Structure 1
Amino acid sequence: MGKVMRKRYAAEFKSRVALEAIRGELTLAELASKHGVHQTMIAQWKRQAVEGMAATFSVKAVSEPPVSPADVEKLHAKIGELLVERGFFTRCLCSVGRDQRRQMIDPKRARLPIIRQCTLLQLNRSGVYYRPVPQNEANLALMRLIDAQFLETSYYGSRQMTWHLRRLGHEVGRKRVRRLMAIMGLRAIYQKPRTSVPHPEHRKYPYLLRDLVIDRPNQVWCSDITYIPMKRGFLYLVAIMDWFTRKVLSWRMDAEFCIEALRDALMRYGTPEIFNTDQGSQFTTPRFTGLLEERQIRISMDGRGRWLDNVFIERLWRSMKYECVYLHAFETGSELRVGLTKWITHYNGQRPHAALAGRTPDEAYHDAPTPSGPGLTPDQRANSSAVRMAA
């Protein structure tokens, strides 16, 4: 009998699974099914992670003499110099966002001044010292009105949006409206000259869904980012949807978590044949497209200003905002997370969909025919086309 080789897991994979177990959003059984690892092993990784964190914050006496804080600071500074000299941060910081690196700055570290920390983290000091001023109540109210009207008339630019707000009794100028729309990431949808100038470092992919018959789950996935207004601020939401069944496969409450949402959807539901997005910088970055290319997923991107190219997820945003976000003035991110979790669960499992002949997205996803099957009937396909045109 041959020797059975024990499967080994990378430290990054263990830490990610342990962190999910510590969060407690999924049970051990669900985590085991999600990652293909036994529950006992996940429990062991969780225990090791908790013990490691406890050891980090505890000071235990050992046989050796205690190390002074000054010696620790010197050691940290020396390690930082070695990391910079050997190019460690040049290779690894590409996977960490700028906002996350700014959070690593510790102004109280006496032996490692801020200028040195900025050098190690590849940050400009001006961005570290700057403290953004939050939007006032008047601007937040205007942003909510702009968002609601933009869902109805996505062809409104700053001029027409200014006239709309003035008709509602708000004395605002066009510059102010233009600035608020830029913060929200809203741009009027109409033909403009020379708007598709590609980023010099980001590749743009062609649109692959034109005249394509989509008749099965996991044939095409799509993703987008939207602005979520709150009572005292706003957040961004990214979601990944199955095009055929309209099922929300994964979502995160931050535009920086696009890659995390994609990894979650791939682990839960496999790989699609085509992945469609817009040309936003979050989706054109090599980190995002590289993850798709590694799995041989064909990449499709909308044309600039072509919101109809990704119409179904645009309809998802409309339903979500009118049925959940606008009905509840969420004050904190945790309240918003709970509200969106409840609504998306209802949307996937209980809310009938007209384009699916009254079925829910979960029913359409799990009960759909095999890839060689017929897919939607002609009447259902015609109904789906009518819904798309009505959008």
Structure 2
Amino acid sequence: MFRSKSDIFAFIETHHAQAGVSALCRRYLVTTAGFYAWSRRGESDHAKQDRVLSKEIERLFALHRERYGSPRIHHQLATAGWRVSRRRVARLMQAAGMRAKAVQGYRAKASIHQRYARHPNRLWNTSVTKPDQVWVGDITYLKVAATWWYLAIVMDQYSRRILAWTLTRQRTAAVTCAVLAQAVRMRPARGVIFHSDRGSEYMGAPFCAQVAQFGFAQSASVRGPGDNAHAESFFHSLKAELTRGISFATESSLRRQLDEYMLYYNTVRVHSSLNYLSPLAFERRAT
């Protein structure tokens, strides 16, 4: 974590107001006498840079509400003109106890690739190279007080942009039809592949008829996690960064937080898979 005792002493100098010199010295196995001797000598240029850099890292970490780990923080610093390695950023974040809200990844099951005649998985043979080529839809559950609510989304797979979403008490074809219609109103398009899982709200006659009415080709995943990975990844991020550990007393309070998060996700939050751009910035670069 630290390359030298000087790095430890510099860290203690920065954080001793919160935790105390003695406690920090015990934690990092150095002596208080050594710390005060170092203080009288003055810190090195490298330690001074670490102290300034740590404050900027803390600012960015707080700005993004503890959602960014060292790769994204490093990218933000580099964009702002800082010349610093990712390893150094990771070291300073670890030393300060800054750890991004975790998102556990999904892993596809390779043994369940089966084809279905009516709605095949069209993504297996599709290379996604532009917006409005593939949209994906999915539903997850969120808790309000003691009641489960359902969040349905439509996402552009190319840019990861959330095109439409709705929060409802029911999980029906009427809900998926409504959120798809909302996405089409926002971005009229033809010839889109719409991909989802095989839940009844997507495979039922009302939704299939609407997909055909919009001139879309319907695609469906195999039976198992991971085959609708972009939507699943978004839900994991949302739950890790917004709802985990938080209790929502009312539907309106959850809806306000979702409004804010969707705007943040589309316009601010950078994605490593999008060359550290936000979905909106990535789309603009492609057009």
Contact kept, 8 Å, 1:154 with 1:189, in 2: the verdict is no
Contact kept, 8 Å, 2:106 with 2:232, in 1: the verdict is no
Quick one: distance in 1 between partners of 2:124 and 2:115? 22
Task: Find out whether 1:239 has 2:157 as its counterpart.
Answer: no
Quick one: distance in 1 between partners of 2:277 and 2:110? 34
Contact kept, 8 Å, 1:278 with 1:303, in 2: the verdict is yes
Structure 1 SS opposite 2:227: helix
What is the identity percentage for the equivalent residue pairs of Structure 1 and Structure 2?
A: 27
Quick one: distance in 2 between partners of 1:226 and 1:152? 16
Give CA deviations for 1:2-40 in whole Å, capped at 9, x if unaligned. xxxxxxxxxxxxxxxxxxxxxxxxxxxxxxxxxxxxxxx
TM-score, normalised relative to structure 2: 0.57
Quick one: distance in 2 between partners of 1:296 and 1:329? 41
Quick one: distance in 1 between partners of 2:105 and 2:155? 23
* Residue 228 of structure 2, aligned match among 310, 322, 335: 310
* 2:165 aligned partner: 251
TM-score, normalised relative to structure 1: 0.43
Contact kept, 8 Å, 1:207 with 1:301, in 2: the verdict is yes
Question: Gaps spanning 5+ residues in structure 2: where?
Answer: 1-101
The change in CA–CA distance for 1:153 and 1:322 in structure 2 (over 3 A counts) is: closer
Quote the offset at 1:358 in angstroms: 1.4
Quick one: distance in 2 between partners of 1:360 and 1:189? 29
Structure 2 counterparts to residues 1-391 of structure 1, below 5 A = 152=104, 204-254=118-168, 255-256=171-172, 257-271=175-189, 273-305=192-224, 307-369=225-287
Quick one: distance in 1 between partners of 2:109 and 2:139? 16
Bigger relative contact order, structure 1 or 2 (CA pairs below 8 A, ≥6 apart)? 2
Quote the offset at 1:292 in angstroms: 1.2
Q: Partner letter of residue 275 of structure 1? A: F
Quick one: distance in 2 between partners of 1:241 and 1:263? 13
Q: Partner letter of residue 357 of structure 1? A: N
Quick one: distance in 2 between partners of 1:341 and 1:314? 19
Quote the offset at 1:279 in angstroms: 0.5
Structure 1 SS opposite 2:123: coil
Q: Partner letter of residue 346 of structure 1? A: Y
Quick one: distance in 2 between partners of 1:190 and 1:253? 32
Question: Gaps spanning 5+ residues in structure 1: where?
Answer: 1-148, 156-187, 370-391
User: After TM superposition, which residue ranges in structure 1, 4 or more long, deviate above 3 angstroms?
Assistant: 151-155, 188-192, 195-198
The number of equivalent residue pairs is 181
